[in-house]
Structure 1
Amino acid sequence: MHGQTSTSLRWRRLLLAASLSLAWSLAAAGQSADTPANPPMPMDQMAMPGMSRELKPQAAHDAMPATEHSAMPSMDHPSTTPTKDTRSPDYADGIGRGTMPGMDMLDHQPLGMLKIDQLEFTDGRYTNGRAWEVEGWYGNDSDKLWLRSEGDAEHGRIEEGQVEALWSHAVAAFWNTQLGVRQDVGEGPHRSWAAFGIQGLAPYWFELEATGYLGPSGRTAVRFRAEYELLFTQRLILQPEFELNLYGSDDPASHVGSGLSDSQLGLRLRYEVSRQFAPYIGIVWIHRHGATANYARLDGQPSMDRQFVAGVHIWF
């Protein structure tokens, strides 16, 4: 009995403590809800400095000064109609519309040049003499008049020579077609030929020339020439030159056979004292072929010859 009584008292005490705790929590929550966190402050705007203003919209509008538009000066707009003194928009400083002065290109201005490519003395195994090769032109970049001549002389007489007059027309940046006439001079027959060909600068700076000739009685001829300039320095230059001559038929009067007639290979080393004047020395190999070699033997000349040369190179 005593044990049951102790247990009953313990439970009663726990229930009483829980009831008191719950009642205390509810009372505290009710007091917190009734009291505001931040009580409102009185906002008497009329008492604040600078905020006392009576709003009267109609009176404020009537107090504004009226704008007198008639007192504003009038704006004069100039007339847009052009007068007789008005300049064109393409006119400035008294210079009419056109190309800019001083900027004209000179590609069509005619120019000229005379070049004595070879004026030399020759010393061969059997003959000694003089030789020349001259050319000149006048015109613009598109069209030129070419004059050229070459030949050799012995004992004060012209042994063999040629003079050509050609019209040159540019067909590409480095190539020209040529059309004209050729006249043979010297101790042989003075034959006339119509000439046509092409001349230009090939890749790697090879100067090439190929010319065909048509003469009386159905005579034909072809000449091919190639040159190159090898610069050891800006003034010391080696110039190889190769030439071939072919004929369509025998010409006993000129001592020329049909087919490949002759070939030449020359090496000339020049020193340019100036760009316009250069002395040179060199060596030339001459080889006559076929019937032309037979004609040379009948004249007491070898079919092959080697010549030392010395001369000057001049251009104006």
Structure 2
Amino acid sequence: MMRAMLLAGAMLLPASLAAQDHSGHGSKSEPAPEMDHCAMGHLPPEQCPPQDEPEAQPAPEMDHCAMGHLPPEQCGKREEREPTMDDGMAGMDHDSHGAMTDKSAPGAAPEDAVPARALEGPRHAADAIWGREAMEPARRELARGNGGMTTGMVLVERLEARIPTDGGKTGYLWDAQAWYGGDLNRFVLKTEGEGEFGGAVEDAEIQALYSRAIGPFFDLQAGVRFDPEPDSRTHLVLGVAGLAPYMFHVDGALFLSDRGDLTARVEAEYDQKITQRLILQPRIEAEFAAQDIPKRDIGAGLTKVEPGLRLRYEIAREFAPYIGIEYEAKLGETADIARAGGEDPDGFKILLGVRAWF
């Protein structure tokens, strides 16, 4: 049965091919072009006849004068012709590619120029749609919400007990400030002092300052300072406070007293985060005097320096107890005055305190 089916299929195949319409193929059948196997790379070179090689054309001579490679005195007079792209490329100063900043066409305005039509409309584009009266309150609110708002803060930077390592009397110290105002103008109130537990306050001062921002990171401060202890005296204050490079908090001021004494103080501190809550703070304070102040046992020059370390843990961001150590040293003539009075001019102190703000 299978053989009969194959035989029938073989007989029908020629009949179907003969029935196809070959009229569209043309009356004369064109012979297919002979394939050039040598040109197509199908045969090795030794089996192909030699081919006539085209005559090599000499390379065009380079015109060094047109390309700007030679100075004008070494080039003859040339005929005037229309400039081409090659002329523009040849005239380019390739040595100045690195210094090119303006890519505008010759005669055009520089890239950073402001078109005149940019200044034809209103200062605020929204005014053209909604009107100035409707947009002015919105702009004031935007400025207030982005730096123009009035806020305040109270910061107790140091409130600590100071335990001398040489067995002296335990003392205390406070250092606090408060401010109220905006980003540019503020009223600042500062106070600090120290004494011994069970004794009188040895030093105390209160400063009332006007603070004005003079840059993104620094404020200029000016005002008055009143010292109730050790003797009542008033000072004019001029100083700066802010954030120095590498995140150092700096506070420096000059003080001119009502008795003509000129002194200065510089404080610098840095918060090094060990964790998000554990912070190590190196701190240094130095004091200077332009002249001797006998009533305060101060000599001219660098009078005192206090470097120290405080390690605090922020139980909350607003409250952080700390421990630390500080070296306090009177220097120069001030140290001589202390020795003459039977006082040790330097020594280490263990610190136990708290830092808080609200």
Length-normalised TM-score, structure 1: 0.68
The alignment covers a number of residue pairs equal to 226
Q: How does 1:1-80 map to 2 (within 5 A)?
A: none
* Per-residue deviation, residues 9-28 of structure 1 (Å, max 9, x unmatched): xxxxxxxxxxxxxxxxxxxx
Q: Within 2, Cα distance between the matches of 1:111 and 1:166?
A: 16
Residues 89 and 253 of structure 1, relative CA distance in 2, 3 Å threshold: closer
1:144 Cα shift? 0.6
Name 2:150's counterpart in structure 1. Answer: 110
Identity percentage of aligned residues: 35
SS in 2 for 1:107: helix
Larger-gyration structure (1/2): 1
User: 1:167: which partner in 2?
Assistant: 210
Q: Is the alpha carbon distance of 1:128 and 1:298 closer, same or farther for their aligned partners in structure 2, counting shifts above 3 Å? A: farther
| Aligned-residue offset at 1:301 | 2.1
Please say if 1:157 is aligned against 2:200.
Answer: yes
Gaps of 5+ in 2: 1-126
Task: Indicate conservation of the 8 Å contact 1:282/1:309, yes or no.
Answer: yes
Q: 3-state DSSP class of the match of 1:98? A: helix
Contact 1:211 1:222 in 2 (8 A): yes
Q: Distance in 2 between matches of 1:158 and 1:199?
A: 27
Q: Secondary structure at the match of 1:223?
A: strand
- Distance in 1 (alpha carbons) for counterparts of 2:146 and 2:135: 21
Question: What is the CA distance between 1:217 and its match in structure 2?
Answer: 3.4
- Higher normalized contact order (CA 8 Å, seq sep 6+, divided by chain length): 1
Cross-structure match for 1:262: 304
> What RMSD over aligned residues (CA atoms) do the two structures have, in Å?
1.9
Cα distance in 1 for residues equivalent to 2:128 and 2:302 = 70
What is the CA distance between 1:161 and its match in structure 2?
A: 1.5
The superposition leaves residues 19-71 of structure 1 with CA deviations (integer Å, 9 ceiling, x where unpaired) of xxxxxxxxxxxxxxxxxxxxxxxxxxxxxxxxxxxxxxxxxxxxxxxxxxxxx
Does the 8 Å CA contact 1:293/1:303 hold for their aligned counterparts?
yes
Instruction: Report the secondary structure of 2:148's partner residue.
Output: coil
- TM-score, reference length from structure 2: 0.60
Map Cα deviations across residues 103-156 of structure 1 (whole Å, 9 max, x no partner): 453411111000111111110122311111111110100011111111112124
Amino acid at match of 2:301: G
Give, in whole Å, the separation in 2 of the partners of 1:96 and 1:141: 27
Q: Equivalent residue for 1:313?
A: 355
For 2:228 and 2:342, the matched residues in 1 are separated by 22
1:234-273 superposed matches below 5 A: 234-273=276-315
Residue 123 in structure 1 maps to residue 134 in structure 2: no
Displacement after TM superposition at 1:221 (Å)? 0.6
Is 1:220 the counterpart of 2:220 in the alignment?
no
